[in-house]
A and B are shown apart, each in its own frame.
Chain A
């Protein structure tokens, strides 16, 4: 009986791993990186994680989870509150709707897919911020972030897939 309870609790905790990994990556993304030539720009870590989990473990990454993680990113970054929440929600919805395509294909296709999503998120984010502040924001930091995110995505993908293999039981077939 006790073992059964412990196992259930363990499974629950494991179920939280995707959300927790997103949160951790979001915090890492918020920390000052201080790369030369990049100013204050850092990679969109939470976007990578939400995209990954929405494809591979949609059962554990819900839309509420994606929204909440975006909200934390917004509150930590000092930018418009709700912007990243909306962007991650859209990312989640898009990834879930296309997950059959991504599940059966290679990493390169996945990378390309992430690039498209990140580009879309950057454009929407830029447009919303420009409208909100009524100011034409310099798009170069966004392009720098896009480049950084694309460059780092293989590493994050690898780390998250290791985490998935080690810590999570295989998902039920769709």
Chain B
């Protein structure tokens, strides 16, 4: 028995080493496969995410609670400064509210004059963020709504303040959002003043780059960037961010949404902008008033 064990030990060690190398090779092969065959990886991801969705949903809330407590302690420390800042902001926003009301009326009467139809309708589905990409090499978030809730690939996702990202991978019960800061994100946008078209390219940094701006545009810090709707997948005019830097390092935009602290996200169920007139004649309900958020 003892002799057999002594003989078996080196063989066992050899087998172990072999298994280790095999797994290592499998891991490297998987990394390369992920580069070559993205759709296959996406399908597997969707299945795994669907399976884990209930556990993630259950766990994400207590985990977020811990983070919120830390945030609350910090907020308390700066409560006074924050209060002063918010008072000033509130006063300014009340003025803006007046302006917005007036503009809304103007807009409605001008639309009537032009006999332009009301805005194309779009509705929302809201989901809770249940996981994020860990913030190392990707900027993504997982939400607990998916194909069964009417979410489709490519739809725009809005957080508190404005555009957050678009639906990249889709499962039945969960969807992965590619945030606008991710290095794979390219968003058609325009300057709110002037309407110059550009592309907002993420590079994993907190402030994505504004690219392909036409020569005539005069970008300045503080200007607002909104979605342009080019490509037809997004509604026009979702607030995206503001220009914070114009210089040698390119034009940098700070997103309005606080991507580090997202609780709920809304997926925009947008009807394609290019509806043909026949279709509208057949089904006038496709032109409906936008729902108030």
B204 contacts which of A32, A83, A128, A137 (Cβ < 8 Å)? A137
Any B CB within 8 A of the CB of A156: no
Which of B23, B68, B71 lies at the interface centre, i.e. has the most chain A CB atoms within 10 A of its CB? B23
CA separation between A18 and B30, bound complex, in Å?
25
Name the segment of B131-139, B225-233, B275-283 touching the other chain: B131-139
B34 contacts which of A80, A141, A145 (Cβ < 8 Å)? A80
Residues of A contacting B44 in the complex (Cβ-Cβ under 8 angstroms):
75, 81
- Decide: A86 near B56, CB < 8 A? Known: A31-B64, A32-B64, A38-B260: no
Do B52 and A27 touch (CB < 8 A)? yes
Residues of A contacting B206 in the complex (Cβ-Cβ under 8 angstroms):
39
CA separation between A83 and B30, bound complex, in Å?
8
Do A75 and B135 touch (CB < 8 A)? no
Count residues of A near B (Cβ-Cβ below 8 Å). Answer: 46
CA separation between A93 and B17, bound complex, in Å?
10
A interface residue numbers (CB < 8 A to B): 27-36, 38-42, 63-64, 67, 70-72, 75-83, 85-86, 89-90, 93, 125, 128-129, 132-133, 135, 137-138, 141-142, 145
- Decide: A76 near B28, CB < 8 A? Known: A30-B56, A34-B260, A38-B260: no
- Decide: A32 near B262, CB < 8 A? Known: A76-B49, A78-B176, A93-B20: yes
B133 contacts which of A71, A79, A133 (Cβ < 8 Å)? A79
B interface residue numbers (CB < 8 A to A): 16, 19-20, 23-24, 26-31, 33-35, 41, 44-45, 48-49, 52, 55-56, 59-60, 63-64, 66-68, 70-71, 74, 129-142, 169, 176, 183, 203-206, 259-262
Nearest 3 interchain pairs by C-beta: A40-B135, A82-B30, A86-B27
- Decide: A28 near B59, CB < 8 A? Known: A64-B23, A138-B204: yes
- Decide: A78 near B30, CB < 8 A? Known: A28-B63, A67-B23, A86-B24: no
CA separation between A41 and B138, bound complex, in Å?
11
Do B131 and A79 touch (CB < 8 A)? no
Main secondary structure of the interface of B (DSSP, over half): helix
B136 contacts which of A28, A63, A67, A129 (Cβ < 8 Å)? A129
What distance in Å separates the Cβ of B147 from its nearest Cβ neighbour in chain A? Answer: 18
Main secondary structure of the interface of A (DSSP, over half): helix
What distance in Å separates the Cβ of A91 from its nearest Cβ neighbour in chain B? Answer: 12
CA separation between A78 and B24, bound complex, in Å?
20
Do B70 and A35 touch (CB < 8 A)? yes
Do A77 and B35 touch (CB < 8 A)? no
What distance in Å separates the Cβ of B191 from its nearest Cβ neighbour in chain A? Answer: 27
What distance in Å separates the Cβ of B185 from its nearest Cβ neighbour in chain A? Answer: 13
Do B30 and A42 touch (CB < 8 A)? no
Do A31 and B31 touch (CB < 8 A)? no
Can you list 13 pairs linking A and B with CB atoms under 8 Å apart? A29-B134, A30-B142, A31-B64, A32-B60, A39-B206, A40-B139, A64-B23, A67-B27, A75-B44, A76-B52, A76-B142, A82-B34, A138-B204
Given contacts A31-B130, A145-B136, list 5 more A-B pairs with CB under 8 A. Answer: A32-B262, A34-B68, A77-B138, A89-B27, A132-B31
Do B134 and A34 touch (CB < 8 A)? no
CA separation between A137 and B202, bound complex, in Å?
12
- Decide: A32 near B34, CB < 8 A? Known: A76-B48, A89-B23, A133-B183: no
Do A125 and B70 touch (CB < 8 A)? no
A86 contacts which of B31, B130, B138, B169 (Cβ < 8 Å)? B31
Do A31 and B131 touch (CB < 8 A)? yes
Do B205 and A81 touch (CB < 8 A)? no
- Decide: A81 near B260, CB < 8 A? Known: A31-B60, A32-B132: no
What distance in Å separates the Cβ of A163 from its nearest Cβ neighbour in chain B? Answer: 17
